[in-house]
Every structure is written in C-alpha cells, then in structure tokens.
Amino acid sequence: MSAESGRRTVAVVINPSKFDDVEAVKAVAAAGAQRAGWNEPLWFETSVDDSGTAAAESALEAEPDVVCAMGGDGTVRAVAAVLRGTSVPYGLLPSGTGNLLARNLGIPLTSLEDAVEIALLGQDRAIDVGLATFDDGEERVFVVMGGVGLDAEIMDKTDDELKKKVGWGAYVAAGAPALLKGGFEATLTIDGQTEDPAKCLMVLACNCSSVVANIEIATGAVLDDGDLELVMLQPNIVAGWVGVAIDVATRNRNGLASLKQWPGREFEFELDAPVLAELDGDPVGETTRGRFGVDPGSLIVRLPVPVAQAPGLSPRTSVTLDSPTADTVDSGEAGKPAQPAQPAQPSE
C-alpha cells in the first residue's frame, strides 16, 4: 500500500497517440480511483522513442499498488516486460483495435469505467509470459503470440488509419498480397525433438488460443498452463484456403490439411531464407533462426470479480484477493499458490 495518506495508488502507462482527448480518459480513470478510495492516478506517457518500457520502469519506481497500461498491444507488451517477475499486479485499460491480451482475459473493451474498476478492485491471476530470441540474440517478451511469416507480413502491412476506420477488416486487406508469397522452409525443434523440414507460410508460438479477430488459431492454448502452442501453416494445393478455414472452424489440427500444432515449453526454428518476425502484432525485423520459450506464471494480472470463464484462461474454483502476490487457488485455501496446470496434450 502506498504510504501517502495510507491510500493505494495506481500508476498508468498511457500512449497518448491512441486517444483524441487524453484529458478526458484521464478524468475517467481519476474518477474511478476516487470512487474506490484510491489516490489520484500517476501518469507516465510513452513517446515516439519509447513504446512504454521507460515509462513502465518509471511507474514501477513510484512503488504503486498496481500498474496499468492504456494503449495498444505494443504498450501492453512493453509494460508486461517490465512487470514480469515482480509482484506488482497488472491492470489492462483497453484502447485501440487489437487489445489481444484483454480479449483473452475477458476484460471489457467498450467501458473504460468498468476496466478501471477491475484494475483497482479485481482479483489477481498469474499468467505465463512468452520469450523470443531471433538473429540479433536479444531476448524479447510477448504475452499473446510470436511468429514468423504470414502473420508478421499482415501486421507489417496493416494501415493504422484504415484499422481505425474498419477495425479487423484492415488485417484482411493487408493479408491478401501476403497470401501470394511462396512461403519458406522451416526446421522445427520442439522440446529437444527435431521435426523434418517443411514448407510453410507461417510459424506461430501462441500463449493463448485467440490471437486475431477472435479466431481460435491455437486450439486449447491458455495463458496459465505453463506452456505454449506452436502452430505451423503449410501450403495446401488441394484444399487451399478453404481447407484452412475448415481446419480453423472445426479445430482440426495435425490432420490432412494445412494446420499443424504442437504443445511445448521450448521451440527452436531454422529457416531457409530471412523471414519477417513479429511479437504481439509488432514487426521486429527479419530473421533466419530463433527460439520461443515460456516463463510460467511470471506476470500477475487483474481480473473481474466474479470472473466469467475467459477464453484465454484455465477454469479455476476460487481466488485470493488483495494480496501483492495473490494468485488463484484451485483448492480453495487462501494464501497458497495455485498448482501449475499439466501441459496440454496434442490437438487432434
């Protein structure tokens, strides 16, 4: 608890470019803090030169009771990287089009008032954080997905202004030219076991099932099971994109069509040519090899009370509230950490 006035304090990392009226959204957050009996929020703005890392570090230095992100998926990822491994809860105040993590956590997207209330008064849940390393050797964090190929091409070519006007339709427009590319050859190693080289259009490491437009790409993936799901999209001359659509709709994986999926904690890949990579929708340059891993339960997020079953979370029976290191408790005994879930089985 913050020392000043014996009241709690929220620090908000905000990307001002996402809002037409920054002062108006700040007023909504301030009103929510006042209703909850908290101090006036502390504000830390991102900039062109800082996607949120420096702002989040400054926010953490203020020793708040909760840190929130108010911006796009890039801001959410930057703040998560700073809060990873700390005991400080993370509140999401969705804005923009993507809101990938908020969607999977069941955070309301259309009511800032409700999101603020959840961030201040909600329950805590530990979730996994993805780790990625590419050609440059730098380890980066992702919370929803990391990948190479088609997904990165789509994110790179999506027009921000069009996204504001038509939402998810902008991704479809960006994806059409990318579909005409011939793909690349990838050799995957999954938890130490190397697969045969395969021609593909995309390799995607997923921390949860829904990674774009509420489409379930990685069947059965959840944010709190201690592993990732690796999805490969392969060209299919016979079935084409109709086959891919059927696989997605029916949740079929590892069959005769185009989508393959593996659960695991560590994935390595080698490509036969440089391919564009992305993390949570942000392109990070081309790479020819890399690694995806997971840091289980390393990020504490704030959820509604009571919590509806969110698409990106495992079912739980009870929660521990108002604790700096609180997590949900499967046994119903407060104060004891939840037991890690068993690794997911291969999807059939």
Query: How many folded domains does the chain comprise?
Result: 2
Residue 333 lies in a domain: no
Residue 168 is predicted with a pLDDT of 41
Query: pTM for this one?
Result: 0.81
Least reliable range by pLDDT among 26-35, 59-68, 118-127, 175-184: 175-184
Co-location of 160 and 42 in the same domain = no
Q: List the domain range (segments joined by +) for residue 226.
A: 131-294
Q: At what angle do helices 73-83 and 53-61 cross, to 10 degrees?
A: 40
Q: Can you read off the two tokens belonging to residue 272?
A: 């036969």
Containing 84, the helix (H) or strand (E) segment is none
Task: Examine the pLDDT at 325 and tell me if it is beyond 60.
Answer: no
pLDDT digits (tens, 9 = 90+) for 146-184: 999 988 887 766 555 544 444 444 444 444 455 556 789
Q: Which residues contact 161 (CB under 8 A, 6 or more apart)?
A: none
Least reliable range by pLDDT among 108-117, 182-191, 241-250, 300-309: 241-250
Least reliable range by pLDDT among 48-52, 247-251, 283-287: 247-251
Instruction: Return the CATH number at 150.
Output: 2.60.200.40
Co-location of 116 and 246 in the same domain = no
Residue with tokens 């030169």: 49
Q: What angle do CA 225, 227, 233 make, to 5 degrees?
A: 120
Q: Where are the alpha helices (DSSP H) in the chain?
A: 22-36, 53-61, 73-83, 100-105, 112-121, 150-157, 160-166, 169-178, 240-250
How is residue 71 annotated by DSSP? S
Amino acid at 116: V
**Domain-terminating residue out of 253, 277, 294:** 294
Pairing of strands 90-92, 66-70: parallel
Residue 9 lies in a domain: yes
Task: Examine the pLDDT at 11 and tell me if it is beyond 90.
Answer: yes
pLDDT digits (tens, 9 = 90+) for 91-110: 999 987 778 899 899 899 99
Co-location of 30 and 81 in the same domain = yes
**Domain-terminating residue out of 84, 99, 121:** 121
Co-location of 80 and 167 in the same domain = no
Co-location of 189 and 116 in the same domain = no
Co-location of 140 and 33 in the same domain = no
